[in-house]
Structure 1
Amino acid sequence: MRLYILFGILGAGLVLLILNHDGGRTLGIDNNDFGRLVTLSAIGTMMGAGILASRRQWGESLRQAAIWLLIILALATGYLYRFDLQQVGNRLTAGLIPGRAVVTTGANGEQILVINKGVSGHFEADVSIDGAPLRMMVDTGASSIVLTYDDAMRLGINPDNLVFSIEVSTANGRAMAAPVTLRQVAIGPIMRGTIRGMVTQPGQLDQSLLGMSFLETLGSIEITRDELRLKD
């Protein structure tokens, strides 16, 4: 009987919605709101029928009703705060996986790329250069993107075209580097094209650097404690 009642409510509501589709309103109610009303009425009918069917066990019925109420409230809360929960998940991912750049939303609604400091004490991130992934250190002290010789070979840069004519300062001392032009550099959703870079001689640099030739194209760079925050 309860199943017939449920189908009857849903069927009647569907028929009314179909008949009043062009008008946009059913029984004076917006069609979207009327659809929600029909759904809630069906759920309420089922719950009420269940309570009446077990009227000899009011304690058990109230307990079941309370459980369903908590479930509904939890689902409603999750839906209302879904974007906040997504940001919490992103921040947790960034904290647990150093170098994983995640996107959060600032107070003004702007998107912010957050990178957590790694165990080395530096900000490292997974960067895509010309479609190839590289783990790079974000270095505001580097004037441009600086690639190790091995990373440059991994990107497919022709070593015969490298002219080591620029003197640079690295953690290992002075070194010579060759200028290159990178077709595309991307970190998370932030993407830039035609970025200048350099390639150091073999063995002169331990890790590639994401320098100012890319960072200066951003809206802002902010370091707060153990976080590096980049705005496009």
Structure 2
Amino acid sequence: MSGMDYGNLAYLGILATALVVWFVVQNRQSLNKTLQQAALWGLIFMGVLAGVGLWEDIRQTVQPQQMVMSDAGRIAVPRSPDGHYYLTLEINATPVRFVVDTGATSMVLTREDARRIGLNEEDVIFYSEAMTANGLVRTAPVRLEDVALGPFHDSNLRAFVNEGEMTKSLLGMEYLHLFRRLEINNGQLILER
């Protein structure tokens, strides 16, 4: 925690203490009833904090995931609540979550994802450029040894590492064209080989 966090925590502690003292002083005639109500509000507050703290875990559990139907040679991906389609590919045996971007030509990795899949600083040299919705960015062309999506494995695929700030890696049309069928229907992205 930084000094600012400690300051905020101290401020909240003083504020909470002042509220508790005020509450007890105001209701000193019926202190037993006041303590019961305070305990109830404390439990409600703790429940809200727990819900907020666990929200990402709850969302990941409830959120629909990609379905792989290997016998049919297809993958069905439900649309995410934010309107995008996300696919988790294993690159060099490391899971990487991509946002499907039919407006992107290539597979584009964030610098963090590139590091996670084992690309070293000397492997990532930013000498090419790409035009994006946010303007011109520098990119580093790389080769991915092993890319797997469910039962489908591809090797020696071209990708780029983006030097700019990106929150998610992008899965562009070069990869999607490896499938013989790509369909968006009834809130699902369907890929078939």
Q: TM-score, normalised by structure 2?
A: 0.62
In structure 2, relative to structure 1, the CA distance for the partners of 1:129 and 1:142 (3 Å cut) is same
For residues 224 and 212 of structure 1, what CA distance do their matches in structure 2 show? Answer: 18
Task: List alignment gaps of at least 5 residues for structure 1.
Answer: 1-95
Q: Which runs of 5+ in 2 are unaligned?
A: 1-61
Letter in 2 for 1:130: N
Q: CA RMSD in A?
A: 1.9
Is it true that 1:166 corresponds to 2:128 in the alignment?
Answer: yes
Paired residue for 1:69? none
Work out whether 1:139 is the aligned partner of 2:105: no
Once the two structures are TM-superposed, the CA of residue 104 in structure 1 deviates from its matched residue by 4.1
Quick one: which of 66, 71, 89 aligns to 1:101? Answer: 66
Give 1:126 deviation, angstroms.
Answer: 1.4
Distance 2:67 2:114 in 1: 26
| Maintained 8 Å contact 2:101/2:173 | yes
Is contact 1:195-1:213 (8 Å) kept?
no
Kindly indicate whether structure 1 or structure 2 has the higher relative contact order, using CA contacts under 8 Å at least 6 residues apart. 2
8 A contact 1:123–1:228 mirrored in 2: yes
Q: Does 1:116 align with 2:82?
A: no
Q: Residue 227 of structure 1 corresponds to which residue in structure 2?
A: 188
- The percentage of aligned residue pairs carrying the same residue is 36
Cα shift at 1:168:
1.7
AA at the equivalent of 1:199 = V
What TM-score do the two structures reach when normalised by structure 1?
Answer: 0.52
Which runs of structure 2 are paired with 1:47-86 in the superposition (5 Å)? none
What's the counterpart of residue 127 of structure 1?
Answer: 89
User: Counterpart amino acid of 2:68?
Assistant: V
User: What is the identity, as a one-letter code, of the residue corresponding to 2:182?
Assistant: I
How far off is 1:213 after superposition? 2.4
Relative to 1, partners in 2 of residues 1:114 and 1:125: Cα closer, same or farther, differing over 3 Å?
Answer: same
Q: Deviations over 1:2-25 (max 9, x none)?
A: xxxxxxxxxxxxxxxxxxxxxxxx
- Superimposed CA distance per residue, residues 70-112 of structure 1 (whole angstroms, 9 cap, x where no aligned partner): xxxxxxxxxxxxxxxxxxxxxxxxxx533x221348xxx8432
> Which string of whole-angstrom CA distances, capped at 9 and with x for unpartnered residues, describes residues 159-213 of structure 1?
1232212222345432110000001111122221111000011x42221011222
**Counterpart contact for 2:146–2:154, Cα < 8 Å:** yes
In structure 2, C-alpha distance between the alignment counterparts of 1:157 and 1:200, rounded to whole Å: 13
Q: Which residue of 2 aligns with 1:148?
A: 110
Higher helix share: 1
Alpha-carbon deviations, 1:118-143, whole Å to 9, x = none?
11210012111111001111112221
